Each structure stands twice: as C-alpha cells, then as structure tokens.
Amino acid sequence: LGSTIPTFDETSAITSTVLNDKEIVFDNAKLLYNRFVSAIAFETDSIECFPIAQIVEAPNFKAYEYQDEVLENLNEFLLANSLHWALVEGHAAEMAAKRSAMENATKNAGDIINRLTLQYNRGRQAVITNELIDIITGASAL
C-alpha cells in the first residue's frame, strides 16, 4: 500500500490478518475512509462490517442452507471487499487531491515567474534609460 493502486491481494492479506488475530473481537465495525466526490472534493464516509454471528442472525439469511466453512469464506470476502472499496476510494481521493495541489503549485510558480520577469525587465530598462541619459548628458556637454 502507498503510492500505487491498492490490489485485492493486499486487501485480502490485511483482512486475513485481522480475522485470524484472536485478540480482535468485534460486534460491529465501521471502516472510515475518504470517499471520492470530484476532482477537488472528497467526503469522509463509513462502511459497516458485521461479524459472522450477526450475518447468521439476519432474517433473510436463515432461509439458506450453508456450511460453516462457506460462511467463514463469505465473512472474509465481505470484509475484504468492503476494505478494498475503502482503500480504492481513499486512493482516488488522495490522487485527486495531489493532482489539484500540483496544478495549483504549477499555476503559482507561473505567476511568480511572470512577476519576477516583469521586475527584471523593469530593472534592466531603468539601467538602459540611465545609461542613455548619461550618454545624452555627456554628448550635450561637449
């Protein structure tokens, strides 16, 4: 993870680490992430993640037959999918913010260059004007 686009393999590794750690127990978890809105905006949003116990207790889920192993795989996939969604959205928001910042920096640098060029040209013009005045003054004195 970092400056490259998050892959589902990386997300799966994170998910496996979280689910296999016996010290991490949760009733309900929320993934907070930056949701991409536009090239210049993002909003903080959340995705709810549920443990196996709550998935099994869902009213519509009881209508299906399932094996415990399938349920564990489903839970891992749901968490990995939610986490991957959050990581990719956050990455898109970060890249948009970086692009916007670079565009602003480029525009500001251009403005600074234009101001310094104008200041340099005015200074050079003043020196040339003073030299012309000295030449004309010297020629009229002769």
pLDDT at 14 over 70: yes
Cβ proximity of 87 and 36 under 8 Å? no
3-state secondary structure 59-106: CCHHHCCCCHHHHHHHHHHHHHHHHHHHHHHHHHHHHHHHHHHHHHHH
44-68, pLDDT tens digit by residue?
Answer: 999 998 888 888 888 888 788 888 7
**Exposure of 57 in the CB half-sphere (CA atoms within 13 A):** 6
pLDDT at 125 over 60: yes
pLDDT at 120: 96
51: buried, middle or exposed (CB in 10 Å: 19+, 13-18, 0-12)? middle
Query: What would the two tokens of residue 44 be?
Result: 């903080």
19-39, pLDDT tens digit by residue?
Answer: 888 888 777 889 999 998 888
pLDDT at 1 over 80: no
pLDDT at 75: 84
3-state secondary structure of 7: coil
Q: Which amino acid is present at 6?
A: P
CA distance 128 to 110: 27
Cβ proximity of 115 and 82 under 8 Å? no
CA distance 48 to 55: 12
CA distance 55 to 70: 12
pTM above 0.85? no
